Amino acid sequence: MTRADQERIFNEKIAKEIKIEPNDWMPEEYRQTLIRQISQHAHSEVVGMLPEGNWITRAPNLRRKAVLLAKVQDEAGHGLYLYSATETLGADREKTIDDLHSGKAKYSSIFNYPALTWADIGAIGWLVDGAAIMNQVALCRTSYGPYARAMVKICKEESFHQRQGYESLMKLCKGTPQQKAMAQDALNRFWWPALMMFGPNDAESTHSDQSIAWKIKRFTNDELRQSFVDATVPQAEILGLVIPDENLKWNEERGHYDFSEINWDEFWQVVKGNGPCNKERLAARVKAKEDGLWVREAANAFAKKRSMKKSA
Amino acid sequence: MSNSQWPLWEVFIRSKQGLNHKHVGSLRAPDATLALENARDVYTRRSEGISIWVVESVQIHATDFDQSGSFFEPSDTKIYRHPTFYEVPDGVKHM
Amino acid sequence: MNEAALYEYVLRMSDDSLILGQRLGEWCGHGPILEEDIAMTNIALDLVGQAISLYDFAVLLEGKDRDHDQLAYLRYENEYKNLLLVEQPNGDFAMTMLRQFFFDAFRLPLFEFLEKSPVEQLAAIAQKSLKETRYHLKHSSEWVIRLGDGTEESHRRAQAAVDHLWRYTHELFYENQHDVELQENGLVPKLSDVQASWMITVQEVLKEATLAIPTNNWKFEGGREGRHSEHMGYILSELQYMQRAYPNMEW
Ligand SMILES: [Fe+2]
Ligand SMILES: [Fe+2]
Ligand SMILES: [Fe+2]
């Protein structure tokens, strides 16, 4: 088959909404784009365990402790489903993770913000998982089969994450004034970083056009951000919390909420490593990998010994 | 592969009695015992399975994309293998 | 029925589950590989679940109209009756797995006996927990063998963990007047029977792991009587942080 034939078949599949599967021919750039995007997503799931994981030992009651454990555990699972998808593209997991640790690969900047109070755990579930769902639901129809299937599985699990966060905040909002203030404070700190999760404005987004053409991405950053704002504002009203944006108002003409411009300086600073917790997050992941080295080596050595015993 | 990276395993799960095992993804494990346990924790946290198979990924042999035409298209023309190829008078029942 | 004695008995089991679950929860996000991170969290979840059921039963036995969270979160340190073993720091992965193994090897026969207890609630909890514990023991004992018979380094670390934790295993079989009373009434198993089973498992697994059982049998105890190690205060300061800092609120 000539290269032109391969490319024609690939483009036909994309046009007809037929999924691309691991063994299919694909343009090298498509493969690289996917590896970059999926591994970045995987890293986000895993780094995302850290701010919430910090609160497992401090969860205020046994039910919340179990829920948080299960939630953070799910994120590890999501990381794994996604690394598994990158491995179908020929990207070795260990190398992918080394790229994270060296700073070459990125992860979602939201996890560079600290979780300071128990209300932050609620806010993270509601806003951060909420924003992630907005992205991920769109990705269930992405053109690469293993990625799409991982997303379907992840989306099923995510909705519990958002609900438990919202429920937890609801409890605070119906509790004492101190609890409600704690919830408002969490919203104040997480609202803008949550909006930043959708990435730069479409005009600034470097990879967007080609990704949309290849149907890796199905909606632009700004479209998704708008959907998130539209969905979240009424939820905040039910909680009785105020979204920290004085320009936020319903625009009858557009049929959407208008909102202020994001502080892009902050966005780029955090992406470049200057967020409040970038160093701690990465250091924790590097330490886990290094501390686990002898464990992984031992397990391999043991497996080798046993298989030799068996064949002897 | 560094000697600390575990081999890759493909995971297949039977979600309930009467259904085939279905591929659900992969994971890393040093041996089959741990591969099964990891598969249980990674892929059946919400009771998605009643039986698990794991196979080391290097043991899987797949058809080649370039040959998929010669592999699969010849059967497309053998429409006589399908019941709809045959005409049966209207009155005939149970067929 | 011997309510006070039974209350203490159930409380100990609750505290064991809670504190070990708390310790395992510290691993979440820091495991040696993602797969094992998930595995340890699963064990932690089982333990927290067991703690909830056990505290619920303890609440009934106590009859003071407290709920499981009040028991779990609002006692003073000397009122917690968990083993010193379970409050030991995670250390490295070998320390965590050996701590888990010594505990699982104890819990499994204990639940097997308790499943037949005439105390219905206890039998029901044991029955549910038995399946979980059997799996925990499978996982931890396999790891003990892998580490013991893995590399030189893993063997050294695993042996160091055995040597350190051995002193706390004696307390697994601690008994006081209340235990004797419960045993005589046939409500709970004789700990000597549990111990016999524990010893067989430990000997088999450590042997396969090429790990030596320490000859120094100096024994630590105190947790069962509410005298803990210095670690306990730190565990409780995290565990109780929210309840102490924001008293009388619902979360
Ligand atoms: Fe997730
Ligand atoms: Fe996600
Ligand atoms: Fe999530």
Question: Exposed, middle or buried by CB within 10 Å (0-12, 13-18, 19+), for A60?
Answer: buried
Residues within 8 A of C (CB atoms), A 176-195 only: 176, 178-179
Joined together, the tokens standing for residue C68 give 């499981």
Contact assessment for residue A135 and residue A224, using Cβ atoms and an 8 Å cutoff: yes
Run of H or E including A223: helix A221-239
Asked if C242 lies within 8 A of A58 by C-beta distance, the reply is: yes
Chain B nearest C-alpha distance from A204 (Å)? 35
For residue C250, tell me if it sits in a domain: no
C203 alpha carbon – ligand 2 mean position (Å): 45
Residue C87 has pLDDT above 80, yes or no: yes
Contact assessment for residue C54 and residue C6, using Cβ atoms and an 8 Å cutoff: no
Q: Does C38 touch chain B (CB under 8 A)?
A: yes
pTM of the model: 0.96
**∠ at Cα A292 (A291, A294), nearest 5°?**
95
Residue from B34, B36, B47, B54 whose CB has the most chain C CBs within 10 Å, to mutate: B34
Strand A256-258 with B21-28, pairing? unpaired
Contact assessment for residue A38 and residue A147, using Cβ atoms and an 8 Å cutoff: yes
Q: Which CATH number covers residue C178?
A: 1.20.1260.10
Q: Which residues partner with B25 through β-bridges?
A: B11
Which of A19, A20, A26 minimizes the C-alpha distance to A3?
Answer: A26
Chain A nearest C-alpha distance from B29 (Å)? 9
Which of A230, A204, A107, A171 minimizes the C-alpha distance to C246?
Answer: A171
Neighbours of A17 (CB within 10 A): 9
3-state SS of chain C is CCHHHHHHHHHHHHHHHHHHHHHHHCCCCCCCCHHHHHHHHHHHHHHHHHHHHHHHHHHHHHCCCCCHHHHHHCCCHHHCCCCHHHHCCCCCHHHHHHHHHHHHHHHHHHHHHHCCCCCHHHHHHHHHHHHHHHHHHHHHHHHHHHHHCCCHHHHHHHHHHHHHHHHHHHHHHCCCHHHHHHHHCCCCCCHHHHHHHHHHHHHHHHHHCCCCCCCCCCCCCCHHHCCCCCHHHHHHHHHCHHHHHCCCCCC
Residue from A94, A149, A306 whose CB has the most chain B CBs within 10 Å, to mutate: A94
Number of structural domains (chain C) is 1
Residue C63 has pLDDT above 70, yes or no: yes
Run of H or E including B56: strand B51-56
Q: What is the pLDDT of residue B1?
A: 46
Separation of alpha carbons C197 and C113, rounded Å: 11
Which of A163, A52, A77, A69 minimizes the C-alpha distance to C51?
Answer: A69
Separation of alpha carbons C49 and C38, rounded Å: 16
Average pLDDT over residues C67-96: 98
Q: What is the pLDDT of residue C48?
A: 98
The bound ligand whose nearest atom lies closest to the alpha carbon of A71 is 3
* Subunits in contact with chain C (3 or more CB pairs closer than 8 Å): A, B
Separation of alpha carbons B34 and A98, rounded Å: 24
Which of A306, A96, A204 minimizes the C-alpha distance to C209?
Answer: A306
Torsion over CA: A11, A14, A15, A18 (sign): positive
Contact assessment for residue C201 and residue C144, using Cβ atoms and an 8 Å cutoff: no
Separation of alpha carbons C32 and C96, rounded Å: 12
In percent, the amount of chain C with pLDDT more than 90 equals: 97
**CA–centroid distance for A180 within its chain:** 27
Which of C19, C82, C44, C54 minimizes the C-alpha distance to C236?
Answer: C19
- B33-49 b/e (C-beta count within 10 Å ≥ 16 → b): bbbebbbbbbbbbeeeb
A78 alpha carbon – ligand 2 mean position (Å): 7
Note the maximum CA span of chain B.
70
Run of H or E including A64: helix A62-87
A23-36 pLDDT, tens digit per residue, is: 999 999 999 999 99
The bound ligand whose nearest atom lies closest to the alpha carbon of A42 is 2
Q: Which residue of A has its CA nearest to B62?
A: A23
Whole-number Cα distances in Å, C154 to A240, A256, B17, C142: 54, 59, 41, 14
C3-37 pLDDT, tens digit per residue, is: 899 999 999 999 999 999 999 999 999 999 999 99
* Structural domains for chain B: 8-81 (3.10.20.520)
Q: Does A77 touch chain B (CB under 8 A)?
A: yes
Run of H or E including A31: helix A28-47
Asked if A118 lies within 8 A of C251 by C-beta distance, the reply is: yes
Asked if C42 lies within 8 A of B45 by C-beta distance, the reply is: yes
Rounded to 10 deg, the angle between the C120-148 and C152-169 helix axes is 150
- Residue holding tokens 């009785």? A240
Beta-carbon contacts of residue A40 (< 8 Å; ≥ 6 apart): A105, A106, A107, A108
Q: What is the pLDDT of residue A20?
A: 97
Q: Does A27 touch chain B (CB under 8 A)?
A: no
Residue C39 has pLDDT above 60, yes or no: yes
Domain of residue C175 covers 3-214+222-245
Q: Which residues of chain A have pLDDT under 70?
A: 207
For residue C251, tell me if it sits in a domain: no
Q: Which residues partner with A221 through β-bridges?
A: none
Residue C206 has pLDDT above 60, yes or no: yes
Q: Does A304 touch chain C (CB under 8 A)?
A: no
Q: Which residues partner with B22 through β-bridges?
A: B13
Q: What is the pLDDT of residue B2?
A: 65
Asked if B37 lies within 8 A of C42 by C-beta distance, the reply is: no
Asked if C142 lies within 8 A of B33 by C-beta distance, the reply is: yes
C-alpha count within 13 angstroms, C-beta hemisphere, residue B76: 6
Separation of alpha carbons A53 and A46, rounded Å: 11
Q: What is the pLDDT of residue C1?
A: 57
- Residue holding tokens 């598994």? A84
A147 alpha carbon – ligand 1 mean position (Å): 14
Torsion over CA: B19, B25, B31, B34 (sign): negative
Nearest to A80 among C34, C150, C151 (CB): C34
Q: Does A191 touch chain B (CB under 8 A)?
A: no
Q: What is the pLDDT of residue A129?
A: 97
Strand B21-28 with B8-14, pairing? antiparallel
B1-57 pLDDT, tens digit per residue, is: 468 999 999 999 999 999 999 999 999 999 999 999 999 999 999 999 999 999 999
Asked if A302 lies within 8 A of B31 by C-beta distance, the reply is: yes
Q: Does B24 touch chain C (CB under 8 A)?
A: no
End-to-end CA distance of chain B: 58
**CA–centroid distance for C12 within its chain:** 9
